[in-house]
Amino acid sequence: MAWRHVLAAALLASPSGAWEVPDSLYFTGQGTTAVIAAGTVPADGSRFACAGCHGADGQGKAEGATTIPPVTWDALTAPTGLRPAYDATSFARAVQSGVGPDGRALSAGMPRYMLDDAQLTGLIESLKQLQAIDRKAFGPRDLRVTADVNDPRLRGFADAARAFNDQGGAYGRSVAIVKEGDALALDDVTGAALGVLAATSEALLFDHIVADGHRRIRWQTALSSAERDFHLRQRGLLHGDGARVVLWTRGSAAPPPPETVDILYADLAVAAPSLGAMLERSVTVYLASPDAAVLDAALRDPQPISYVEGYLSGLALGAALTAAGRSAGQEALRRRLQDKTVAFPISVLRIGD
């Protein structure tokens, strides 16, 4: 692969800050030969792309007992407590022969690569670009997010962002919604956050149902009946078609008719439009939701589900930004958004009788 192509690929990658995989050598390993097992077994380099170990952001990671170091060009060309700074020559030696800038042999966990000069130059260019691409959307005082003005989730997202900013943001950085430029797309943020949020509220609701002592419930869900029964059995619960205790999660399932329900456990993101009808029929509703203010705002919005989705995504982004740390880039942010242990402030609210 010519280095011009590698460079162009790195420059073209993610122009809008969207989370896509660029096709440079760092990401594909294509056209190289990797030598693994301490220099004895040659293998197709595409099976050992750098990004697979050092991460799409080049930040490395701790994997069990092995620490995989960061390899962005800035990181390599700065000395650490463990080694002097790399330059182009010592970088080539590390990647081709597995020898560090201080003469230390790198562990067998780092493959050796047969690369020509053009490939090496291209690789260094992508290590320089990695950081720039990953840090797009981040200003010193803000994280920028862009959305189509007609996106119905924007209202909820903007409200959550305002609340996050009013509380001081994270590390002096607030969430800014911009028309264009280097920014994350709201679609990408909601895409990464919503699956985790749905699972989080479902787990909370199940805990509630079990603690409230119900045994037989009706679960209105888009899951197949086999999957549904599996989840219920795991928690010692049974499905009952006529049961008047109803759990309603996962959007594509039809709303339960209010006259068939005494107690409803629901995810705000699916139940918002039906709450009025439920409360009129004196159904007791337990709702997984961030707080009562969101609920009010959602009920006033013409598109309550989109409002809630936007709001929850905004909350999740704030939590991820805080958890990811001061110098995090997009990749670290995305990992946090998809991590269910990052605290999304959701609890179960009781509304109605």
Chain positions contacting ligand HEC, by CB under 6 A? 48, 50, 52-54, 66, 68-69, 71, 76, 83, 91, 94-95, 100, 106-107, 109-111, 113, 123
* Torsions phi, psi for 173 (to 5 deg): -115, 135
| Pick 76 or 209: Cβ nearer ligand HEC | 76
| Pick 67 or 260: Cβ nearer ligand HEC | 67
For residue 283, CA distances in Å to 13, 241, 280, 299 come to 51, 18, 8, 17
Tell me how far apart the alpha carbons of residues 238 and 45 are, in angstroms, rounded to a whole number: 51
> Is residue 330 a contact partner of residue 184, using CB atoms and an 8 Å limit?
yes
CB of 93 to ligand HEC, least distance (A): 10
| Pick 91 or 286: Cβ nearer ligand HEC | 91
CB of 35 to ligand HEC, least distance (A): 11
CB of 70 to ligand HEC, least distance (A): 7
CB of 138 to ligand HEC, least distance (A): 24
Helix (H, G, I), strand (E, B) or coil at 64: coil
Please give the helix or strand (H or E) that residue 286 lies within, else none: strand 284-289
For ligand HEC, the nearest residue by Cβ is 50
| Pick 52 or 276: Cβ nearer ligand HEC | 52
For residue 204, CA distances in Å to 198, 232, 265 come to 10, 14, 10
CB of 40 to ligand HEC, least distance (A): 15
Listing DSSP states for 160-197 in one string gives HHHHHHHTT-BTTBEEEEESSSS-EEHHHHHHHHHHHH
| Pick 48 or 286: Cβ nearer ligand HEC | 48
| Pick 7 or 196: Cβ nearer ligand HEC | 7
Spacing of C-alpha 70 from chain mean position: 20
CB of 104 to ligand HEC, least distance (A): 7
